[in-house]
Amino acid sequence: MNTSSVLAMSLLLGLSAAANAQNPAPVPGPAIVPNTTMTGKVMSGYQGWFNAASDGANRGWRHWGGNPPHPGEVTVDMWPDMSETDPDERFETGFKNKDGSTAVVYSAYKEKTVMRHFKWMRDYGLDGVFLQRFAGEVSNDSGRNQFNTVLKYARAGAKQYGRVYGMMYDLSGVRDGGADAIIADWKSLVDNTHLTQDDRYVRHNNKPVVTLWGLGFIEGGRPALLDDGLKIVNFLKNDPVYGGNAVMLGVPYTWRTTDAPEVPFAKMEQLLVAADIISPWSVGRPTTPQQVIQNADRVLKPDLDWCKARGKDYMPVVFPGFSWYNLRKGTTPSNQIPRLGGKFLWTQYLEAKRIGATMVYQAMFDEVDEGTAIFKVTNDPPPPQGGSQFVPLEGLPSDFYLKVVGQGTRLVRGEFKPEDDTLVKNAPWTPFVPEFKPTNANTTANGAAGQSPKIRAANMGERRGGIVVSSERDEKGTTKQFSVQGDWNYPGVWTEPGADKRAIWQATLPEAGQYLVQIWYGEDANTDHATKALVRVQHADGEGQVRVNMREQTGRWFTLGTYRFNQGAGAKVTLEAADAGGNLVADMVRFTKVPQAAQ
């Protein structure tokens, strides 16, 4: 072999190694996942609620939006990867792909589709799923048939591919006094399917696990269901025929610290101590890796300690990102909580392991409605049409998050060391910037006419549903909502790093609640910009602190976190210039009211 051939071969091997480092092969899980304990497991939520008009379920289109889903009428923010499906699994929508072809979706009423999902679980090392059983949908024959059919397929998939499954009742929509309907449904399931006798049904301490999700939630006027919850828990644990189960509760993120009169903790505690596993719903709470780390010590560790002290197990919830722009008709940001190439999710796994969690709930396997899906979604969804837009996978392979969850599963089991990660570390991701249309191109965020092109571009459409405080001005001075301290340069509002320099945005919020707080620091990733600018967020519970690299994620809103604010004045964001690692840009801050994310 001559020298040039050797060099060419070396180059090819080097390129192949680099490609493998960026997109490593999946690591299969055990051939048969043990079903006797939840300890060491990662269980994903499985919606199984998607229907198409011609799928045979006679439910029409369900949970895709529209009839069929079409531009302007769609409720999902991510698009499933349909490349492995057969023609009889594809259902045409009103959307067009970039090449002009008709975009298609799937139905969970198709057996081969559900079976393929369980094959993916085996191939990528996932333990299994909790099947969502929506109380509001199984109350009628059509919905009951849908979820019973998905259960049948899931049981077959779990058996064929050695995975485990459990049942999770989602109590959304249940009113006070609804316990009897849940109890009746469980009796029917046990009598007709004998599912708890299935060797693929997941157990804990060798008892079948049944989950009740939605107890203690009061957002939107929903009842806390504490009395109903206690009645169901006692039935599931103690009934002589249908009892003997281990019960997991899906509760609010603030379950330990709530002071709402509708959720008296004395009664909440009575419910909690009657259960076996506590799983607080964290979706939408941490919004950045920094906040994940902060919350691990501030929230997760005290949660875990509380459970340990009372002999309960603790199952924290992790999620890859969040977006429900289409579901919320454009009133919330697209790509609201960015995935950051897997860093956001992987940080949650690392922190759960660090604080001592022995089991993890992954939200969600197939939830494309709220952009939390970890199954295969396409990086090339239909382009924006008719006001609808979809979040791609930041340039990553469609199976990337199956690999991340598989790696997280090995981490939880103690079979993987954090320092061995190359999957997330080397992920070649590209930040996604949603395409928005202007709501009023001649109005600034503060209501003044004649905004600059830069500010106008930043505000396009994306400010719908939010309150934006802008720094735009022609000369130095102080305004009601924006001010600076120290020596700043105008126009553009920037400064070199230095002590006693800061920019301050203040907002008067129309109502109390959780708000997503984001900052915009221009469109240019200049090499002299700050790499570690400190941003302080003053909120109702204290102060949040986030370090921002202004050379990255430019030309988009950067998420600082979700915080609780009181009504009126008091919402304040401060950009500190001290020890920032470069020049700082003070542009805009946005406050967006965030409803409690539904499962």
Residue 405 CA: distances (Å) to CA of 167, 202, 260, 317? 21, 19, 35, 13
In a domain, 578, yes or no: yes
Same domain flag for 515 and 383? no
pLDDT in tens, 118-167: 999 999 999 999 999 999 999 999 999 999 999 999 999 999 999 999 99
In a domain, 55, yes or no: yes
What does residue 130 show for φ and ψ, rounded to 5 degrees?
A: -95, 120
In a domain, 10, yes or no: no
Residue 563 CA: distances (Å) to CA of 217, 294, 325, 530, 570? 18, 13, 20, 25, 12
Same domain flag for 403 and 465? no
Q: Which residues pair with 214 in a beta bridge?
A: none
Angle CA 380–93–321, to nearest 5: 45
Same domain flag for 412 and 467? no
CA-closest candidate to residue 596, choices 253, 292, 344 = 253
Residue 149 belongs to a domain with what CATH number? 3.20.20.80
Same domain flag for 370 and 457? no
Last residue of a domain, one of 361, 394, 417: 417
Segments of the chain with pLDDT less than 70: 1-22, 436-465, 472-480, 490-492, 523-525, 596-599
In a domain, 398, yes or no: yes
Q: Which residues pair with 248 in a beta bridge?
A: 211, 277
Last residue of a domain, one of 417, 444, 475: 417
Alpha-carbon distance of 334 to 381, in angstroms, equals: 14
Same domain flag for 234 and 188? yes
Same domain flag for 197 and 54? yes
- pLDDT given for residue 328 in this prediction: 87
- pLDDT given for residue 444 in this prediction: 27
Tell me how many domains the chain contains: 2
- pLDDT given for residue 524 in this prediction: 67
In a domain, 516, yes or no: yes
> Read out DSSP for 88-121?
GG-EEEEEE-TTSPEEEE--TT-HHHHHHHHHHH
Same domain flag for 98 and 172? yes
Last residue of a domain, one of 395, 417, 439: 417
- Return the axis-axis angle of helices 226-238 and 265-274, rounded to nearest 10°: 20
In a domain, 32, yes or no: no
pLDDT in tens, 349-358: 999 999 999 9
Same domain flag for 226 and 348? yes
Same domain flag for 131 and 70? yes
- pLDDT given for residue 556 in this prediction: 76
Same domain flag for 246 and 153? yes
Alpha-carbon distance of 160 to 314, in angstroms, equals: 30
Residue 520 belongs to a domain with what CATH number? 2.60.120.260
- pLDDT given for residue 435 in this prediction: 77
Same domain flag for 405 and 502? no
In a domain, 5, yes or no: no
Q: 530 lies in which domain range?
A: 453-593
Alpha-carbon distance of 359 to 221, in angstroms, equals: 32
Same domain flag for 338 and 459? no
Q: Which residues contact 151 (CB under 8 A, 6 or more apart)?
A: 131, 189, 193, 195
Angle CA 126–129–132, to nearest 5: 155
In a domain, 433, yes or no: no
